[in-house]
Amino acid sequence: MTRTLPEPAVDELDLTAILGALADPARRSMLTAMYRGPEPIDCSASTWCAGLGLTPPTVSHHFRTLREAGLTRTVVDGRARVITIRRGDLEDRFPGLLDAVLGRG
């Protein structure tokens, strides 16, 4: 059974919450890696997450913070947690924000 974890609607995206989530260097690094690399990622597979140098509970906490701020979408499919950046929603609400903060590398 596939389900999407709770996230704010586009009109509820809050710049302060987004910038607060991105203020943490680990979360910014995680999101930058996703932004510049292939998406979606399956963090339950742990190969991507293992390269971060963080414990699985810490990675889970950071992904939850990013999702609750509205930066990512998490779809649960069985044991897999597929995570994507909400690029379209963020561009609609705050044009150019992701590029300005995460850059194109």
**pTM, to two decimals:** 0.88
- Residue 70 in any domain: the answer is yes
- Please tell me the total count of domains within the chain: 1
Which letter does DSSP use for residue 94 in this model? Answer: S
Asked, for residue 6, whether it belongs to a domain, the answer is yes
pLDDT in tens, the chain (105 residues): 889 999 999 999 999 999 999 999 999 988 998 888 777 777 665 566 666 777 878 888 999 999 999 999 999 988 888 899 999 999 999 999 999 998 765
Give the range of the structural domain holding residue 16, as residue numbers without chain letter.
2-99
Domain for residue 77, yes or no? yes
Q: Is residue 10 part of a domain?
A: yes
CATH number of domain containing 30: 1.10.10.10
User: SS3 for 5-52, per residue?
Assistant: CCCCCHHHCCHHHHHHHHCCHHHHHHHHHHHHCCCCEEHHHCHHHHCC
Q: How many H-runs (helices) and E-runs (strands) does the chain carry? A: 6, 4
Q: What pLDDT does 65 receive?
A: 96
Q: What is the pLDDT of residue 48?
A: 61
Assigned domain for 104 exists? no
Does some domain include residue 21?
A: yes
Task: Let me know if residue 105 belongs to a domain.
Answer: no
- Classify residue 86: in a domain, yes or no: yes
